[in-house]
Amino acid sequence: MAMSGNHKFGISRSFSKQGHVKDVHTLIGEQLGQEFILDGGIIPSSFIETNVDILCVKYTANHEYLAVGFTDGYVRLFRPRKGECVFSLMDTETLENPVPVSDIKHRLSSRANPGWKYESGHCVYTIHEHRQTLGLEFHRRSPKFLTVGNDSIIYMYDEETRTQEQVFKSSARFHPRNNYEFVSGGWDNTIQFWDIRQQFSVRNFGGVHICGNGIDISQSGTEVHYLVHIVHSGGTKLLTCSWQPEDPIKLWDYGSGKLISVVKPDIFLSKLYCGLFIAKDFFMCGGTDTNLFRVVDQRSMSSLGILRGLDKGVYSMDVGPLVRQVRQSFQIPHLPRVAFCAGRKIYEIDFH
């Protein structure tokens, strides 16, 4: 259900506390050894070990840095190939009341944007929600963003007016090409399709238990940057990666909401927290019990590669730059670099 938004929230401004830097111990490359089991045609090209648990990772827009959210309340930006922590974002307010950072999204700089300008350590403003906020999603073209929390309610804000515009009941993902539509999923085992012009969700289906960023939407057309562009019966695909032991990976037709396929790419079972399209015909996913990261080839519906036996579950992942390099095997597709976190470690994967 959608409602006009008058739920209580507040806005504040703050700056990084001067002189306060908390070092993060890092190890990179061969120093770590191989502490996982590798199956298939992928291998980590770099990895960083820290001394703090990690919940989320996100490349900056130019892919120069990898922003990492920690359980101690810090957002730290790394040059992953060097294992160098370049910026640490924490202000007086969050020092006094540190909470885990469970999601990070980037937006081109604007005075209206909430969050941090990381190069200056300036927090533009903070929105205080009276709940545990778990994730957010920016609209690609409009000055709108969604937040999701532990109360199964979705808030939509306007960046320019800094007001809460609408409230929707249930992770959420804006449609990459439609200005008015988004999809949400949650602990109620349903996927809801929304139109922000409508009071209620326009359709839904069940049997999908979402516990993280486990929803992604493809586009029709040619490949660009982060999202995949796939044509399936002239339409758009919806990927769901569920925290459930049976049939956690499913592909749906976005337009009709009909199930295209239940994907069983290998013999390893895992309850999934996250999933993302990488490029045409490929997506990645990760989770726990078994702790693993996998890349799936949709053409064969099988795993291109798996990292399993990780210390902790995979909670977050992101798609990075398309790196030009010498191909070592033409059987392995040329895909963008990707990153994921597991426990206190950050891994980067190249495909060549």
> Residue 82: what pLDDT?
83
> Residue 233: what pLDDT?
37
Residues 6+ apart with CB under 8 A from 67: 57, 58, 59, 60, 75, 76, 77, 104, 106, 118
Report in angstroms the alpha-carbon separations of 20 from 26, 87, 93, 102. 19, 11, 13, 22
Cα separation, 224 vs 246, whole angstroms: 32
Residues 6+ apart with CB under 8 A from 79: 64, 65, 66, 86
Cα separation, 167 vs 149, whole angstroms: 12
Could you give the 3-state DSSP secondary structure of residue 158? strand
| Pick from 132, 141, 129, 126: nearest CA to 167 | 129
Residues 304, 9: contact at Cβ < 8 Å? Answer: no
- Hunting for tokens 């798996």 — which residue is that? 306
> Residue 352: what pLDDT?
67
Residues 193, 201: contact at Cβ < 8 Å? Answer: yes
Cα separation, 65 vs 34, whole angstroms: 24
Cis peptide before 133 (omega within 30 of 0): no
Question: Among the residues of 121-205, which ranges form H helices?
Answer: none
Residues 171, 182: contact at Cβ < 8 Å? Answer: no
Q: Enumerate domains of the chain plus CATH numbers.
A: 2-350 (2.130.10.10)
Following CA atoms 202, 206, 208, 212 in sequence, which dihedral angle do they give, to the nearest 10 degrees?
A: 40
Tens place of pLDDT per residue across the chain (352 aa): 443 333 443 433 333 333 333 445 555 544 445 567 888 878 788 888 888 999 999 999 899 999 999 999 999 999 988 888 899 988 888 888 889 999 999 877 655 555 667 777 778 878 889 999 999 998 888 889 999 998 888 999 998 888 999 888 655 667 776 778 889 998 889 999 988 888 778 889 999 999 999 999 986 533 222 222 222 334 689 999 999 999 999 999 998 899 999 999 999 999 999 999 998 899 999 999 999 999 999 999 999 999 999 999 999 999 999 887 655 555 667 899 999 999 999 999 988 6
| Pick from 268, 330, 273: nearest CA to 305 | 268
Cα–Cα–Cα angle for 213, 288, 207, rounded to 5 degrees: 60
- Hunting for tokens 């007086």 — which residue is that? 92
Cα separation, 256 vs 259, whole angstroms: 9
At position 55, the amino acid (one-letter code) is: L
> Residue 114: what pLDDT?
56
Residues 183, 208: contact at Cβ < 8 Å? Answer: no
Q: What DSSP designation does 30 have?
A: G
Residues 70, 76: contact at Cβ < 8 Å? Answer: yes
